């Protein structure tokens, strides 16, 4: 059933995971989680970040990307133990937000029967809003549209590929898209299933 709440009435919960990297014969696992909330009425809040318990070796390339190695994970909590933190931001009707949500949805499957649905994927929104942009990755797109400095103000001392920074960035990008295109009074479903047809047509024309 479609969620017909208006965008202006929704609390959005940004979430991002940094992973250990997929190694041959092994599944990727999360090394850091970052979360925050945002709404048109309430603004930004509920920032949370934590390293996660070490489940094996962190791939060398993943270390190069996010700078997290096994030494930083010593004594870190398990993801399952952080259920109160996760549910506090994504429960009670909040709508989860991520950029390319696949990784976040997959890691959250560790919580059996989690109720987190529907999702807003800011990658799809970026493609729908500016289909002719050369890159729609979170960092490049935020820099290109001029919202990266706001992210830095909200989470000083952090940068791209930090889970909290990226979670907040997805919310800042969401706010920019909503306000730029006047989406405040549309039903939430307009964000959940944006029309990315123009982007796909451009991609097809380039092949």
DSSP per position, 100-157: STHHHHHHHTTSTT----S-EEHHHHHHHH-TT-S--SHHHHHHHHT-HHHHHHHSTT
Query: Quick check: 55 pLDDT over 90?
Result: no
What pLDDT score does 25 carry? 60
Query: Quick check: 3 pLDDT over 80?
Result: no
Q: Which residues, other chains included, contact 201 with Cβ-Cβ below 8 Å and sequence gap of 6+?
A: none
d(CA 15, CA 35) in angstroms, rounded, equals 5
Query: Quick check: 15 pLDDT over 90?
Result: yes
Query: Quick check: 23 pLDDT over 80?
Result: no
Output the six-digit token pair for 187: 């039903």
d(CA 142, CA 148) in angstroms, rounded, equals 5
Q: What is the mean pLDDT of residues 46-67?
A: 92
Q: Which long-range contacts does 152-159 make (Cβ < 8 Å, 24+ apart)?
A: 154/44, 154/47, 155/47
What pLDDT score does 129 carry? 96
Pairing of β 30-39 and β 43-51: antiparallel
Q: CATH for 7-206?
A: 3.30.420.10
Output the six-digit token pair for 122: 């800011």
User: In angstroms, how far is the first alpha carbon of the chain from the final one?
Assistant: 36
Q: pLDDT for 70-107, tens place per residue?
A: 999 999 999 999 999 999 999 888 999 999 999 999 99
Query: What's the whole-number average pLDDT of the chain?
Result: 93
């Amino acid at each position: 059933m479609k969620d017909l709440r208006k965008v202006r009435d929704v609390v959005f919960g940004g979430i991002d995971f940094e992973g250990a990297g997929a190694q041959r014969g092994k599944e990727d696992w999360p090394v850091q989680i970052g979360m925050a909330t945002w709404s048109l009425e309430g603004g930004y809040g509920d920032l949370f970040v934590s390293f996660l318990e070490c489940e094996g070796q962190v791939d060398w390339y993943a270390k190069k990307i996010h700078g997290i190695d096994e030494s930083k994970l010593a004594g870190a909590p398990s993801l399952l133990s952080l259920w109160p933190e996760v549910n506090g931001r994504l429960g009670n009707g909040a709508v989860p937000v991520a950029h390319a949500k696949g990784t976040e949805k997959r890691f959250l499957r560790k919580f059996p029967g989690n109720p987190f649905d529907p999702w807003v994927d800011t990658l799809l929104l970026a493609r729908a809003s500016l289909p002719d942009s050369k890159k729609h990755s979170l960092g490049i797109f935020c820099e290109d549209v001029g919202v990266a400095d706001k992210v830095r103000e909200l989470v000083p001392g952090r940068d791209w590929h930090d889970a909290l920074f990226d979670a907040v960035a997805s919310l800042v990008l969401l706010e920019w898209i909503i306000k730029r295109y006047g989406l405040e009074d549309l039903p939430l479903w307009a964000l959940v299933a944006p029309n990315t047809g123009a982007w796909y047509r451009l991609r097809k024309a380039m092949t």
